[in-house]
A and B are shown apart, each in its own frame.
Chain A
Amino acid sequence: MVDYSFMAAIQLAVYAGGVIVLIIFSVLLVHHIELRLEVSKLSQRILAGLLSLSGLALTLYAIFTYEFSVIENTNSIEVHDIGLGMLSYKEGGFILPFEVISVLLVAVMIGAIVIAKGKRLEQ
């Protein structure tokens, strides 16, 4: 509704396609778990709840006491602009973070494989 359809697409692809599948696979791998999910101790839940509520109260107070200077507009975010910005090295361009993220993803892939393989890699 923010007219950010690109994000929606990304979310769908990454989360629904990638992360959920990953988690379901891992759940299946560790199929040792019980059918019923236990809940933690009451004291822990109450404390966590209190903490969350107080943090929420603090944040809401911060938000509502601040004067946001909203600029009315009807811009929509075009994929075309996102693509240009991602590869631009002029001002407002994000080519460097783009490259860094790529490297990071490669490292993560390799790291995940190494960790998950475990001992057999050493042999």
Chain B
Amino acid sequence: MDFSYTILIPLIPLAVFLLLGINYKSIKPSVSGWIGSLGLFATLVLSYYTAYQYFFVVGKVGDIYQTFTEQWRWMSFTETLYIDMGVMIDQISVMMLVVVSTISFMVHLYSRGYMKGDPGYTKFFAFLSLFTFSMMGLVLAVNLFQIYIFWELVGVSSFLLIGYYYTKPSAVAAAKKAFIVTRFADLGFLIGILIIGYYGGSYDFATLNDLEGNVITNWASTSFMGLSVITWGLLLIFIGGAGKSAMFPLHIWLPDAMEGPTPVSALIHAATMVVAGVYLVARLFPLYYFVEDGYALNVVAWVGAFSALFAAIIALTQNDIKRVLAFSTMSQIGYMMLALGVSGYYGHDGLGYMASMFHLFTHAMFKGLLFLGAGSIIHAIHSNYLQDMGGLRKYMPITHITFLIAALSIAGFPGFAGFFSKDEILVAAYEHNKLIYVIGVVVAGLTAFYMFRLYFGIFWGKDTKYEHTPHESPVSMTFPLVFLAIMSAVAGYIHFSEYVTVDHQPFEAHLNYPLAAIAVGVGLLGIILAFIFYKKPSGLPEKVAASFGSLYQWAFDKFYFDELYLFVTKEIIFKRISAPFAWFDRHIVDGTMNLIGNSTVSGSEKIKKIQTGRVQDYAFAFIAGAVVLAMIFIYKWII
């Protein structure tokens, strides 16, 4: 089956980016909105067609999902070192195509309303298309180099979009922070790629993931400090993934990234780019599972679990609704990492992998919806802060209902999509590691609580008097909300285990009723607590916060990690390490160059005095030269 038409899926957004980028001064804003949306619609249609073809028509051969690759040699260095570019169609890449194109298309439609009147409208759509192109390229990558290239491109798009309001210093600082932190993580990624490529012999995913291949059978051949070299490579690659997915301790950029426009937050920092780290681990899952008996996979699980708990605690205290959602995203991605970490490989043991991908899918839907709803609210009230909101259910019914659906989904209310995916994760965790399971359940409860704190605080709570009455958003903004709400509700009913599995064979996944009951119970507890605290204005939240005392303050200040990193970079790296190098460069390197230049000038100043303008001096030189040359050449007195 020829899937080479899938190369169009990343290329259409690239063409839109080039078109809008080159002509951004001459295209009218409304036209650029249409062009961007139409381009994305074409991509969407192609992605859905590919998904239909793959999952329902040709993908399965004898009950095993095949992997289709088309690749072209891009750069060739030696026989064994070359970089190919191409497309790899298998279960997770097709699933990601569907997710990315859906969310991107919804965000395009939404932005046509949200960004209306903004002076850089065309630029915004150009950057959105650039991001979509990069993300598609990342998802379809066939080897580690290609995924790294598109990884960096996604980082650049994120930088451009976070710093979109470039006149705001905080936005510029946030963009720099995001790019620098992820770039720092990518150093680990690159070193990991090189280690794996060198010791494994190939950079190609098909070759690396081959169960009878060199890497998986021979991983113990070289070790370093007690662990196999391949394990080190995998850990380093995971550092790259952790940076991009905002896992602890590289999470500091995600809350600040909320400085970007809300559609950007929805697209990049909720649904697609931040899951790139999860996608990377999923892509290399056979390596993570089989090498050193899953040592690296264990690290992934614990990092995910800790990040989930850490983020959930901080999210309880924040007042900026976008920051609450950002920490919620970090927490949910922690869930996805955790699920990958506890997964096995064969048949039903691969439940964690399937659950992680399932949660990725549903999370994109409901988190995208939450962000777009938050954008709708911010657009109406012109403020991000919970204190300024309250009683909005009267003014914005559609936003209210869709936000409620999303909140129920993320809290794991039975029947909605989040319930099914989160439940599968908890089942997988229970079968593998009880402590991680307990952490998962606690985080589920915290998630329900802070989500409904947000919901009640915005739509119920106190009856705030607004300066100008907030009105419901236009259709361009509410249509995506409605669509995503429907998806958040029904996506749970997809039998994901028949489509996306780690060993490429479908299996049956059943609902584990006792564990589901525990999860639902914890979720309902969270919702009820939030109801008590926040539905009507009361002093209860402040009293509880005060009773926690300094613990509350620490959580509110995000456990001071930003300050710690700032200290390390400013005091230690800048002053102690970089400053001497800068001094050396300025004074010694530049000084040498200046010295050479100045000496040439002063030398020539002295030499030019030979030209006196007097004929007799010239004659003197002439005759002297003749005499000397005669002596040297004819009589060889001197030589």
Indicate whether A and B are direct neighbours in the complex (CB within 8 Å). Answer: yes
Q: Which residues of A contact B (CB under 8 A)?
A: 44, 47-48, 51, 54-55, 58, 61-62
B628 to A, closest residue via Cβ: A54
16 contacts between A and B (CB under 8 A): A44-B616, A47-B620, A48-B620, A51-B620, A51-B623, A51-B624, A51-B627, A54-B627, A55-B623, A55-B627, A58-B627, A58-B630, A58-B631, A58-B635, A61-B635, A62-B635
- List, in ascending order, chain A residues with CB within 8 A of B623's CB: 51, 55
B617 to A, closest residue via Cβ: A44
Nearest CB in chain B: distance from A37 CB, A:
16
Complex CA distance for A5 and B616, rounded to whole angstroms? 36
B591-639 contacts to A (CB < 8 Å): 616, 620, 623-624, 627, 630-631, 635
Closest 8 CB pairs of A and B: A55-B627, A51-B624, A54-B627, A58-B627, A58-B630, A51-B623, A58-B631, A51-B620
- List, in ascending order, chain B residues with CB within 8 A of A62's CB: 635
- List, in ascending order, chain A residues with CB within 8 A of B631's CB: 58
Nearest CB in chain A: distance from B71 CB, A:
81
Complex CA distance for A62 and B637, rounded to whole angstroms? 12
Q: How large is the interface on B (under 10, 10 to 19, 20 to 34, 35 or more residues)?
A: under 10
- List, in ascending order, chain B residues with CB within 8 A of A44's CB: 616
Chain A contact residues, majority secondary structure: helix
Complex CA distance for A44 and B129, rounded to whole angstroms? 82
- List, in ascending order, chain B residues with CB within 8 A of A47's CB: 620
Complex CA distance for A79 and B151, rounded to whole angstroms? 105
Complex CA distance for A48 and B620, rounded to whole angstroms? 7
Complex CA distance for A51 and B623, rounded to whole angstroms? 8
- List, in ascending order, chain B residues with CB within 8 A of A55's CB: 623, 627
Complex CA distance for A55 and B624, rounded to whole angstroms? 8
Nearest CB in chain A: distance from B167 CB, A:
72
- List, in ascending order, chain B residues with CB within 8 A of A54's CB: 627
- List, in ascending order, chain B residues with CB within 8 A of A48's CB: 620
Nearest CB in chain B: distance from A78 CB, A:
38
Complex CA distance for A62 and B627, rounded to whole angstroms? 12
Complex CA distance for A47 and B460, rounded to whole angstroms? 108
Nearest CB in chain A: distance from B36 CB, A:
79
Complex CA distance for A62 and B634, rounded to whole angstroms? 10
Complex CA distance for A48 and B623, rounded to whole angstroms? 10
Nearest CB in chain B: distance from A47 CB, A:
7
Q: Scan B154-173; emit 1 where CB is below 8 A from any A CB, else 0.
A: 00000000000000000000
Complex CA distance for A57 and B627, rounded to whole angstroms? 10
Nearest CB in chain B: distance from A53 CB, A:
10
- List, in ascending order, chain A residues with CB within 8 A of B635's CB: 58, 61-62
Complex CA distance for A55 and B623, rounded to whole angstroms? 9
Nearest CB in chain B: distance from A88 CB, A:
36
- List, in ascending order, chain A residues with CB within 8 A of B627's CB: 51, 54-55, 58
Nearest CB in chain A: distance from B614 CB, A:
10
Complex CA distance for A51 and B620, rounded to whole angstroms? 8
B624 to A, closest residue via Cβ: A51
Q: Among A47, A51, A54, A58, find the residue whose CB has the most chain B CB atoms closer than 10 A.
A: A58
B186-203 contacts to A (CB < 8 Å): none
- List, in ascending order, chain A residues with CB within 8 A of B616's CB: 44
A50 to B, closest residue via Cβ: B624
Complex CA distance for A4 and B631, rounded to whole angstroms? 35
Complex CA distance for A47 and B630, rounded to whole angstroms? 19
Complex CA distance for A10 and B12, rounded to whole angstroms? 101
B98-138 contacts to A (CB < 8 Å): none
A54 to B, closest residue via Cβ: B627
A51 to B, closest residue via Cβ: B624
Q: Scan B472-503; emit 1 where CB is below 8 A from any A CB, else 0.
A: 00000000000000000000000000000000
Complex CA distance for A52 and B557, rounded to whole angstroms? 94
A44 to B, closest residue via Cβ: B616
Nearest CB in chain B: distance from A8 CB, A:
30
Nearest CB in chain B: distance from A51 CB, A:
6
Complex CA distance for A44 and B620, rounded to whole angstroms? 10
Beyond A51-B627, A58-B627, A58-B630, 13 additional pairs, beta carbon < 8 A: A44-B616, A47-B620, A48-B620, A51-B620, A51-B623, A51-B624, A54-B627, A55-B623, A55-B627, A58-B631, A58-B635, A61-B635, A62-B635
